[in-house]
Each structure stands twice: as structure tokens, then as C-alpha cells.
């Protein structure tokens, strides 16, 4: 076993601290994004998703072409399929998340999306060969139990938004696993964000054009804010998972639920029910215990 030097340990610690700050910044940005999506009102979900990513595409494109070289913007055989899978899974994930945000409390939708780190454990074990121990697998099972309190499974149509929220978390888990692998391969975080935004904008554009619903000026404003908040969140989460492994920093992502609950209460008069709060508690406690155990 190769000993770790003091300088290497110091670099690792600094990267972990940067990752923690980035993940908290990401949580706040995505909580704002969910609020703005809800405040945009009666606009089709696909249309909201398109404008969210169109704004992110412009923003990320400016940052990318200003701060990277032509070589760093290349799509190679080595990273194309990872970029494609990250974009495809992430696209499905955020469309489902938008649907959940439109049809349930934003704190509930945020928590279901925060199952992503547990999905990351599964997919990292399968695709990145980052072996999970028995406690991590137990954590995944307990997190799923916690999600059932939020979903409140029934045989009625009212369960559809919650299922969409779960699919959103699954898609995000796949996407974050790909981001981790791309970071290990040296792909720039700004390029990952730009590729994702471009891919999803191109895919969603024909659907929006064929089914466009006119919007009021204030809806345009909220969708612009949605895109800006999403851009901030994308850059933060992409940077976070390139600085440190998911298992070391993902627990801080749960601050989004706190941000979402506060924003939902003050701006939307939303209060989670008792079962949802129990679900939050189970998932967050499991995440914290897992983090402490790893340290």
C-alpha cells in the first residue's frame, strides 16, 4: 500500500471542502429553480424544461468558450457515450422532476430527487467498480423505505407525480455517476454542462414548436430565472463531483430540502404532511449516519 503524503492529504481535504461548498450552492440553486418552475404557472412541463435548458445553454456556452481551449471542447470516442448517457438520463430526470414540482409540494419533489445519491451508490458499484459495503446497501434500502412515506403509494392517479419524482431521482443518479467518471477522465465541468444543455434543448425543441403555448410576460420572467438558477446548480453539482467522490459529499445535497421547505412555506403556502416529514427524517438521518460512518 502506497503511503499518502501530507501534501496529498492536504490537497484532498481542500478538494473535499470545495466539493462541500459547491454541493450546498447547488442545493440552493435547485431549490430556487423548483420555486420558479412552480411560480411560472400553467405552462406545459416540456415547455418549461426547454426554456430552462435554453437559458442554461446560452449561459454555459458563454462561460465555456471564454474559459476553455478548443482541445478542451472536443468530444472524443473516450467520453462521447458517457456524455450521451449523462445527458439522456439527466434530461429524463429533470423533466420528471419538473412534473413532480408542478403537481406536489416542492419540498416533497426535492426530497424524491435527493434519492439520487443513493442511486449513485448503486450505479457507481456497477459501472465505476467503486465497491459499496453492507452499510451502504442497507442505507439504500432504508432510503427507499423513507421515500414510500413521501410517495404514499396508492392505486389512484394521484401517485403519478410522486412516481415521476422517483424517476427524476433515478435519472439524476445515473447522470451524477457519469459526471464522476467524466471528471476522472479529465473532461471539463463547463463542457459537461454545455453538452447536456445543448443535447436536451435540441431534443425538446421540436416538441415545444409543435405544441407551443403563449405565455405572459411574468411567465417569461420566471422561466428566465428558472434557467439562471438551473445553470448555477449545474455548474455547482458538476464541479462538486469532480472535486470529490459522491460518498464523501453527497450528504450536503440534502440541504436542498430545507431550502425548498422554507421557500415553499413563504412563497407558496406549502406545508409538508406528517408522513412526508417522517420520510424526510428517515432519508436525511440515514444519509448523515452514512457520512459520519465513512469519516
Burial-class residue 258 by CB neighbours within 10 Å (0-12, 13-18, 19+): middle
Percent of the chain whose predicted confidence (pLDDT) is above 90: 27
Q: What is the pTM of this model?
A: 0.81
Please state, rounded to an integer, the average pLDDT across all residues of the chain. 85
211 CB-near residues (< 8 Å, 6+ apart): 44, 46, 47
Domain membership of residue 196 (yes or no) is: yes
Domain membership of residue 130 (yes or no) is: no
The Cα 223–Cα 53 span in angstroms is 10
Domain membership of residue 208 (yes or no) is: yes
Domain membership of residue 277 (yes or no) is: no
Based on the structure, what is the number of domains in the chain?
1
Domain membership of residue 223 (yes or no) is: yes
Domain membership of residue 143 (yes or no) is: no
Domain membership of residue 11 (yes or no) is: no
Percent of the chain whose predicted confidence (pLDDT) is above 70: 95
pLDDT in tens, 272-288: 889 888 988 888 888 88
Summarize the confidence of residues 74-101 as an average pLDDT. 90
* HSE value, Cβ hemisphere, 13 Å, CA-based, for 95: 16
When pLDDT is cut at 50, 70 and 90, the band that residue 225 belongs to is very high
pLDDT at position 91 is 92
The Cα 187–Cα 237 span in angstroms is 14
Domain that holds residue 55: 19-117+160-271
67 CB-near residues (< 8 Å, 6+ apart): 190
When pLDDT is cut at 50, 70 and 90, the band that residue 84 belongs to is very high
Domain membership of residue 169 (yes or no) is: yes
Summarize the confidence of residues 221-231 as an average pLDDT. 91
The torsion of the CA quartet 234, 237, 243, 247, rounded to 10 degrees, works out to -150
The Cα 127–Cα 125 span in angstroms is 6
Amino acid at each position: 500500500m502506497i503511503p499518502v503524503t501530507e501534501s496529498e492529504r492536504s490537497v484532498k481535504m481542500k478538494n473535499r471542502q470545495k466539493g462541500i461548498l459547491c454541493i450546498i450552492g447547488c442545493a440552493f440553486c435547485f431549490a430556487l429553480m423548483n420555486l420558479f418552475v412552480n411560480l411560472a404557472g400553467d405552462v406545459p412541463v416540456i415547455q418549461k424544461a426547454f426554456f430552462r435548458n435554453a437559458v442554461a445553454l446560452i449561459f454555459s456556452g458563454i462561460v465555456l468558450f471564454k474559459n476553455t481551449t478548443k482541445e478542451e471542447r472536443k468530444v472524443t470516442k473516450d467520453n462521447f457515450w458517457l456524455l450521451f448517457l449523462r445527458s439522456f438520463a439527466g434530461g429524463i430526470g429533470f423533466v420528471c422532476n419538473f412534473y413532480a414540482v408542478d403537481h406536489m409540494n416542492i419540498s416533497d419533489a426535492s426530497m424524491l430527487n435527493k434519492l439520487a445519491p443513493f442511486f449513485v451508490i448503486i450505479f457507481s458499484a456497477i459501472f465505476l467498480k467503486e465497491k459499496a459495503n453492507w452499510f451502504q446497501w442497507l442505507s439504500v434500502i432504508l432510503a427507499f423505505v423513507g421515500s414510500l412515506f413521501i410517495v404514499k403509494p396508492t392505486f389512484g392517479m394521484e401517485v403519478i407525480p410522486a412516481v415521476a419524482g422517483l424517476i427524476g431521482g433515478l435519472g439524476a443518479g445515473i447522470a451524477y455517476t457519469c459526471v464522476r467518471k467524466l471528471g476522472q477522465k479529465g473532461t471539463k465541468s463547463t463542457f459537461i454542462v454545455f453538452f447536456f444543455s445543448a443535447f436536451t434543448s435540441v431534443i425538446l425543441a421540436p416538441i415545444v414548436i409543435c405544441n407551443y403555448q403563449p405565455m405572459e410576460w411574468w411567465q417569461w420572467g420566471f422561466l428566465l430565472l428558472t434557467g439562471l438558477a438551473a445553470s448555477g446548480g449545474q455548474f455547482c453539482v458538476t464541479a462538486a463531483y469532480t472535486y470529490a467522490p459522491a460518498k464523501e459529499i453527497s450528504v450536503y445535497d440534502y440541504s436542498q430540502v430545507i431550502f425548498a421547505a422554507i421557500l415553499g412555506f413563504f412563497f407558496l403556502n406549502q406545508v409538508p404532511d406528517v408522513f412526508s416529514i417522517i420520510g424526510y427524517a428517515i432519508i436525511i438521518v440515514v444519509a448523515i449516519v452514512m457520512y459520519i460512518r465513512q469519516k
